Amino acid sequence: MNLYFCLNQEIPTHTTVLNWVKKQGISQFREKEFYQHQKWVLIVDESIQFGNKKLLLALAIPEERCNQRQPLSYKDLTPLILKTSASWKSEEIVSEIKHNIDLSQISYCISDCGNNLTRCFSLLNCKHIADINHTFSLIIQSVYEKNPLLDEYTKSLSSLRAQKSISKISRIVPPKQRVMNRFMNLTPLFKWGIKMIHLLDNNELPDDEKAALSFLEPFREFVADTYKILICLNKMQEILKNKGFDEKSASEAMKVFSKMKSDNSLKIRNQLNEYFADLTSKAEGKTICCSSDIIESCFGKFKEIVKGNKTVGISDLCLCIAAMTAENTSDKTNQAMETISIKQVKDWKAKNIAKTLFAEKIELNKIMERNYYRNE
């Protein structure tokens, strides 16, 4: 701020800096009329539970930007909705979207396949593009969830990790398995398996490590095939995330999977064909965005900021998400600081942020204290 405004001030308090961030965040929101001059793509998602609240986030991107066969950046985003609630029902999300943008200006919406979001777009009669990350995860889940080999393999890895994590052979311990969304994160487990099998085959491990890894022998074929499938799916995602989805990128992505011939890969290919057919019908010859990674990144950065004190819940500090979309120029920053007042920050908070868990605890303590002294 000293550099931008040619000031010579002392270092401000953390409260002042937080207020600057919140002002910058509020300055990024636009009136409903702003969206009437072109078509927009919406990316919508809700956060995991923070305290007892969920954060609904909707981002708007000009449709023409999504046609450019390039991944999105924060500067492409305009925050449309940033609001907390104990839960978000389809009808509530519909109401929020209608309040902030005319439906005629929405080209299509991107989200995961959560029931409330899917139904929301159906109620709005908006074209819904299923996020490629979550769709691929659901495809993998449908093929592998009831596969006994996967169950045995992951249990063996968990057992090895539990037994050897603090032993002298801890270097061979497999990566930690995720409980939530585990089918989105199988690659590290199978990459570890492939590496360990190669080390065993090349006789590069001492006897005690060989003994600990002996359980891998019956999983050789399964690990090799599954790893190839996961690598192919990751490459397909990379192509479609970077170039968008259209006939050309879809053909390029499917070529990656063309050499896979195992039973599991054929099951996956059939579902991929269905997903691509759905996207093709919705793209109508245009290049469309099929990834909601940018909104996941926004949530990820916000979680990193608040991870030190999750018990507070979701406060107006979530405005840092909107501030991420700002153009970092002196003119824009100057305008935000001069035009957004602290009162506007408080009004925005009252309208969009429900009482935090921390505030509810303080309120409860006050009630308890009043009752205690009354009884005294």
Question: pLDDT tens-digit profile of 302-313?
Answer: 888 887 666 567
Pairing of strands 54-62, 78-85: antiparallel
Global pTM?
0.86
pLDDT tens digits for 31-86?
999 999 899 999 999 987 666 788 999 999 999 999 888 899 999 999 999 999 98
CA–CA separation, 117 vs 325, rounded Å? 23
Q: Count of CB atoms within 10 A of residue 303's CB? A: 13
Strand partners, 43: 59, 110
pLDDT tens digits for 250-261?
999 999 998 889
- In this prediction, residue 372 carries a pLDDT of 61
| pLDDT, tens digit only, all 376 positions of the chain | 777 777 777 777 888 889 999 999 999 999 999 999 899 999 999 987 666 788 999 999 999 999 888 899 999 999 999 999 988 999 999 999 999 999 999 999 999 988 999 999 999 999 999 999 999 999 999 999 999 999 999 999 999 999 998 899 999 999 988 766 788 889 999 999 999 999 999 999 999 999 999 999 999 999 999 999 999 999 999 999 999 999 999 999 999 998 889 999 999 999 999 999 999 999 999 999 999 999 999 999 988 888 766 656 788 889 999 999 988 777 888 888 889 999 999 999 999 987 766 666 777 777 777 776 666 6
Residues in the chain: 376
- φ, ψ dihedrals at 130, nearest 5°: -75, 130
Burial class, 258, CB count within 10 angstroms (exposed 0-12 / middle 13-18 / buried 19+): exposed
pLDDT tens digits for 8-31?
777 778 888 899 999 999 999 999
